Structure 1
């Protein structure tokens, strides 16, 4: 069996005097995966981020089914996901029955090494399914092939039941069911929106494929055109979507009204969220082609400003920068193929240039967008320089930022844990600052309620000192490549003012840095509303329902404290809420366009919002257990809620 050799101490470790042969251990494949899961699936997480490990597990299984479709077998994939259970059934060729165990439990074993069987697949290293197996408390694989079926059940990579081959009437294909291990993925749950986004990408990239997810059908006829049509605000795009297809490459692009650049890049059906050589080549090729078409050296930033684009390429034996395959590192399209840069540049130069010549209306609209970006850039050039000079001076003694040692744009092991807490006021920021992990958690303190920047231009980012300092703290002025923190967490009180600050901060990000939200970097911090305790146990409750359960568990007369604001929570307690058990609500962009979303919530007295409030306004009376109320009243120093009716605005 293949084994990983892992030294218990570094060769250079001087602190261990007995470093000898006994200090070296050999781990089998499943032990190594469970000991170092980050090497195989990136970060772990609880499912609140779209790149958390539980989504990587699902992707690894679905990727195999997609590869079957790409090779011409199986046009339908069925996926069922509950909070903790995943089932994937495809109708491809099915794993050869004699190799079912090997394909899911022997490292570096699979059909992807045979380039004739899988020309341009996503998985090449024979690791993905084995990682899912090792990191699941229950893992079942069943192959259907030529009227025979073979089923095997595992737990944490160990065979539990090896069923014999029997006859079947089921169609060819493979079924896999797994339950991620709760000891590794603590308090995890699947968020349907993240799974749905993944599935949409699969069908956009594989025209003709049908995926049934939790009994809902997903299908695309026009590939990347449909992807852009779904993600772009069709009412504000400057010209119709340009859709170009060739051998091993597909591109869709347009320009909108938003700030920044919005790219969706893929390699062999894999969503490369961090881009790579193909995305860099595309950005370069677009600038070069447009300059040559208009015969003028426009600034690259003006050409790419507000671009919305998707690019998909098929590469033989792709090289990714990690097992999670979020960034392409390949320089060539294949062992004997051209460079990625040359291939994409040649395609864009010919196809985009031809398209613009054939569609002068599109060429005219594109030119107007470039000239508008140029005017906007020159308009803010002066204030931008002054603001950046101020920010550089302030960065040496930035009273608003308590920075951490590790940044996301580094290669440190903790880069995925890097977090910036945006807090309201000095008391809340003080509590977080004292209890944070100084290696990877930073704090940015707001002075008060930030400016409502809805419908304002990006000039305000430089004119408003607080926004400018925040922009520099995040290092996102020129895009997300240098982003300092993987998680931007809005940490405000759970009251009306706190909710308002959340909306104002989300408006800032959506208005000027929407890529930050789309990439899944923005969150809302959940903090407990109640502390219920007796002499033996303390329970923190995040809702009224949890409070009632805690009172029931602890029995009569527990001490109940209602936290009115983050500043009331002691640093020692705060450390419990921002550590390994941190609860985060991701800010997720659904099908609504940013323009309509901001207009609805942040516009001035919009009729739609007024009608929504009127229709959903309801008055609910608390149902309080007399014993519970008595217990609360007897609690010395406990903060009580006002008696009477509560107003709940849905």
Structure 2
């Protein structure tokens, strides 16, 4: 061990590079003694007598000079000196830059590049440099590089005693780049550079002119820098320059001449310098290169390059700053990069390209995720594979992984500059073809996965499909004659199975659907792959993705030759049919051309009279028949809402007459393809709006065609009327509550059952329960006026109402305000729907104020989206009073009951919704209000928690927070460092803590009272539309009330006359048949019951004006004959004198009330109430429980005023402009917008309307309607 240690120590001290400890250990002691002795005595070790063939130590271990070592081991310094063949970019006169196989010697290429980069580096030292000249003479094996600008100082180095040019070009390890404290953006670094070119040249000449010393220097080295010629110094008075001329030693590179490939890559490097060195003209062999900028240099690579569609590639270019220039385009061959660091061609890239590529990839992946409906997981490297990146940069003191400088390794933090790509560049990058290329790849991958996982093959028996009743011949030789029946649910399957008893099971299979099918045209790849129902249908039919079934023989590969759709005859059933058609059309459009699809229709209504039975397959067909019947009452009408309504007997009747019920879908040409795409494609949104609007223009046309009625129904499910904010489910709840008129609270679950029964609700009761809960909620951000009372836990602002208790535990009842908003007298003016021969909720309610503005509206329908914020009910009432007085309504800001923040207007219909924050001390802030609809719990989890914990990239912003809020109030006390608080305050506390959210009124799309969609530009337009409609209904109400008074007066008059004539003996009714008695009363001029008739006959306004009500569909029960029961059923004691006189007094009172008292009393009361205070009223103190002080905002806190910056306003304006431009893409859209915003034409006034108007004007009813004013006091 001691011997080993001694030898190791000596060897390490002597720096013998070839010595290893393993070799030392194998020597014997005698030889080690001789070796050590020779080392100290410097004597040669002779061959031992025992082994005469062993070499001497001097032959084994040698010391070389630096120059000898470079020549002996050149690959360490300049790369391989052996010819290699690889793909490289070279310049071609015809096609520009082309990537092809090139055979070259990397070492020769490198020494040339060192000289070229030195010339380019001079541009960084002298900005006046403007020219580089490169000459390559293969015949004489001579290369020269000349540049103007600052020359090398022609002075003697005081330490080394040689001229500076001779020092830096003729002596190793000399450089001007050794001072790492000095930040340089040049290519040189290690002190080899041009010396390597000298060493591997037969002749190497340096010429330079120094303006400062006014001298020129010229010296030549020969024989691999082994012999230096005499330096020549001459006086000089001209422009500075430097010129390097050398003749490479081709024998070192195993070459005889400079071949074409070598010249080609040297030529490309000349083009590189022209493109990467700004402001420098480059000449090659006396000819100026046609490259004036980095952008024009990039074009050399893209000459004649096209994308998949044959379109020339689009280049996105940006000069980020004076050190970074970036170009990007699409790549079809994986990730490609062409980059330069300080004019060095980094052919393998490095951290500079990663830095830029990562920025682009991060932005592109966000865009791809939004567009990636296929659901394929796309990773950053897959995005990168579609990018072709060009980077030209200047980096301070760059480092490389080798002297060849192909890969830049410096950490990004040491670059000395940054490259923040602008939003404009990123936006252009998303539209230059890269995203499209990625999406095509995604679709290809998705389709491949679908083919692999979801496609099926033909089998006689299949397993693993629950609830399938397979046809016996399916998948066999008779499979083309088989039909698969897809039913809407299990009950419909039962009906189909009952029918199979007639047609048999050999050729018919049945499979039930679980509701509405997925819209595969817009579904993601993951959704389709994970959808068991779609996969089961494919498996049952034996379909294969991407297979073309145009050839009739290809249908033989399917397990079934027909697909029959069997759904309910309602709107949902029609939607399911459409989705199935869309499923086949999207994946296998050729199947539709073979009449592959069919439907099985069943009656929606049956009319029965004794043994006669008439089936009807559409509502219009039934309505037309019903209108022609003289006595519809003798018919029993049965509505078949679903297939489950039919009995097994009826199922057998259907299937026994298969030809009548089996309807094939016939393909009529490209128009059918366009129609299916129009209905289900997301790309056809504007066209779909146009299509639906055309139907809305004429509702009669929609009802005649039946199908458009479906689209109207889907819209009405989610859109509100311009008069109320009530959706169909909410109208049903309100109708039921009005009808029940409960005086005590009722469980929500029980009320939902009652609503379903009274209003013929055909969906699940769970959704009704949620509707009831929503109508009763009153926390901040929900309703400003809740129509139901919350008696229990109906949800709070902590979770946005999602924390409500189970419907079986909570109670509710009608709010006292509900009947003030919807007066009972207006119920007589509404048009009610009829469902299953049962009168249900009205088509719409007409409140006395527009509740759509009070409680806001939000919904998504077919083609449109609508969103309105809440407004202050007092401001709304005040504006209605202004309109009653002939003044214009004032603009209103959104307002939410209980909200303690502020809402500022950015521009028309654009608002900023601000929370509240205050500074308590230098390290503490207090958040006492959140923006509207920002719920307390989600704010804590999504904003404060990440700020507290931080991430790898973003440090923690706050140190702690405490919560003091309740179910109605918000209070977070947040701790942070003084420095962080100062920074946050400078940036804006509201912005940093996300306490500002935008509110918009740009999507005010509502149904008007005739059922057509209308787009409102301002809130005042909604108010005006409501005002006009409500005023018409006040006239209508007055007319109805006057009619009722007249009817009651007529009834009393007839009764008084009847009694008087009976007493006088002029009327004899005893011992006469009933029929004769009724005839006699009619002849004597007695009226049929006037009150009953007034309830049945619609008021004059309803009959004459279609803008309010199109038809009166309530059955007229009095058509069976006059009704005199009100006379004949009077008790005998009515003939007494007292009762006669009382009846006459009642008659006179009614007439007086009609003519005089009504007018005077109403006018007096309304004049008294006309002077309503504007908005503000005295607050009423409640007897609530005292709240603990810690839950309230700290009075000493310094409130931070929200900042409304010019950026916010500009952003709001930009969004408004984009939305406006989006709605004006073409003439069709412009016409659509015009129709949606067009005011409904006022009804024409006939003689009856003129009479009503004159009466209303006379009694001032229209000027001061009573029902506007009687709500004021409760609201105050």
TM-score normalised according to structure 1 size: 0.52
Aligned-pair CA distance for 1:61: 0.7
Q: 1:209 aligns with which of 280, 289, 296?
A: 280
Structure 1 counterpart of 2:314: 240
State the alpha-carbon separation in 2 of the partners of residues 11 and 110 from structure 1: 37
Q: 1:355 aligns with which of 420, 425, 432?
A: 425
Aligned-pair CA distance for 1:25: 4.2
Structure 2 counterpart of 1:88: 145
Q: 1:176 aligns with which of 240, 244, 267?
A: 244
Q: 1:153 aligns with which of 220, 223, 243?
A: 220
Structure 1 counterpart of 2:410: 330
Change in Cα spacing, 1:272 to 1:383, as seen in structure 2 (3 Å) is: farther
Change in Cα spacing, 1:92 to 1:364, as seen in structure 2 (3 Å) is: closer
Structure 2 counterpart of 1:57: 111
State the alpha-carbon separation in 1 of the partners of residues 411 and 169 from structure 2: 30
- Name the one with the larger strand percent: 1
State the alpha-carbon separation in 2 of the partners of residues 135 and 366 from structure 1: 45
Q: 1:162 aligns with which of 208, 230, 233?
A: 230
1:38 aligns with 2:38: no
Give the conservation status (yes or no) of the 8 Å contact 1:287–1:300: yes
Change in Cα spacing, 1:280 to 1:381, as seen in structure 2 (3 Å) is: farther
Structure 2 counterpart of 1:104: 169
Structure 2 counterpart of 1:314: 394
Deviation track 1:504-547 (CA, whole Å, cap 9, x = no partner) reads xxxxxxxxxxxxxxxxxxxxxxxxxxxxxxxxxxxxxxxxxxxx
1:79 aligns with 2:134: yes
Aligned-pair CA distance for 1:274: 1.3
State the alpha-carbon separation in 2 of the partners of residues 381 and 198 from structure 1: 45
Give the conservation status (yes or no) of the 8 Å contact 1:120–1:315: yes
Give the conservation status (yes or no) of the 8 Å contact 2:305–2:313: no
Structure 2 counterpart of 1:253: 328
Give the conservation status (yes or no) of the 8 Å contact 2:142–2:247: yes
State the alpha-carbon separation in 2 of the partners of residues 150 and 214 from structure 1: 24
User: What residue ranges of structure 1 are gaps of 5+ in the alignment?
Assistant: 386-650
Change in Cα spacing, 1:239 to 1:89, as seen in structure 2 (3 Å) is: closer
State the alpha-carbon separation in 2 of the partners of residues 379 and 81 from structure 1: 54
Q: 2:64 aligns with which of 27, 35, 41?
A: 27
Give the conservation status (yes or no) of the 8 Å contact 1:93–1:145: yes
State the alpha-carbon separation in 1 of the partners of residues 206 and 135 from structure 2: 15
Aligned-pair CA distance for 1:281: 2.8
Change in Cα spacing, 1:380 to 1:61, as seen in structure 2 (3 Å) is: farther
Aligned-pair CA distance for 1:282: 2.9
**Any idea what SS the aligned residue of 1:80 has?**
strand
Structure 2 counterpart of 1:125: 190
Aligned-pair CA distance for 1:94: 1.6
State the alpha-carbon separation in 2 of the partners of residues 54 and 90 from structure 1: 21
Give the conservation status (yes or no) of the 8 Å contact 1:316–1:333: no
Give the conservation status (yes or no) of the 8 Å contact 1:73–1:92: yes
Residues 162-561 of structure 1 aligned to structure 2 (within 5 Å): 162-168=230-236, 171-188=239-256, 189-190=258-259, 191-224=262-295, 226-231=297-302, 233-236=304-307, 240-247=314-321, 248-256=323-331, 258-293=332-367, 296=370, 298-334=378-414, 337=416, 343-344=418-419, 347-348=420-421, 351=422, 353-357=423-427, 359=428, 363=431, 365-379=433-447
Aligned-pair CA distance for 1:179: 1.4
User: What residue ranges of structure 2 are gaps of 5+ in the alignment?
Assistant: 1-13, 40-56, 85-101, 155-162, 371-376, 454-1276
State the alpha-carbon separation in 1 of the partners of residues 21 and 450 from structure 2: 55
Aligned-pair CA distance for 1:384: 11
State the alpha-carbon separation in 1 of the partners of residues 432 and 132 from structure 2: 43
Aligned-pair CA distance for 1:318: 0.8
Report how many residues are paired: 369
Aligned-pair CA distance for 1:51: 6.0
Structure 1 counterpart of 2:938: none
1:143 aligns with 2:215: no
- Name the one with the larger helix percent: 2
Residues 606-621 of structure 1 aligned to structure 2 (within 5 Å): none
Aligned-pair CA distance for 1:219: 4.5
Aligned-pair CA distance for 1:265: 1.9
Change in Cα spacing, 1:282 to 1:169, as seen in structure 2 (3 Å) is: same
State the alpha-carbon separation in 2 of the partners of residues 51 and 261 from structure 1: 26
**Any idea what SS the aligned residue of 1:142 has?**
strand
State the alpha-carbon separation in 1 of the partners of residues 449 and 65 from structure 2: 59
TM-score normalised according to structure 2 size: 0.27
**Any idea what SS the aligned residue of 1:253 has?**
strand
**Bigger mean CA deviation after superposition, 372-381 or 140-149:** 372-381
| Higher RCO structure (Cα 8 Å, ≥6 apart) | 1
Aligned-pair CA distance for 1:27: 3.0
**Any idea what SS the aligned residue of 1:7 has?**
coil
Change in Cα spacing, 1:222 to 1:308, as seen in structure 2 (3 Å) is: same
Give the conservation status (yes or no) of the 8 Å contact 2:203–2:246: yes
Structure number with bigger Rg: 2
State the alpha-carbon separation in 2 of the partners of residues 356 and 150 from structure 1: 51
Give the conservation status (yes or no) of the 8 Å contact 2:364–2:435: no
State the alpha-carbon separation in 2 of the partners of residues 364 and 243 from structure 1: 11
Change in Cα spacing, 1:356 to 1:178, as seen in structure 2 (3 Å) is: closer
Aligned-pair CA distance for 1:232: 5.3
Change in Cα spacing, 1:364 to 1:111, as seen in structure 2 (3 Å) is: closer
State the alpha-carbon separation in 1 of the partners of residues 226 and 202 from structure 2: 10
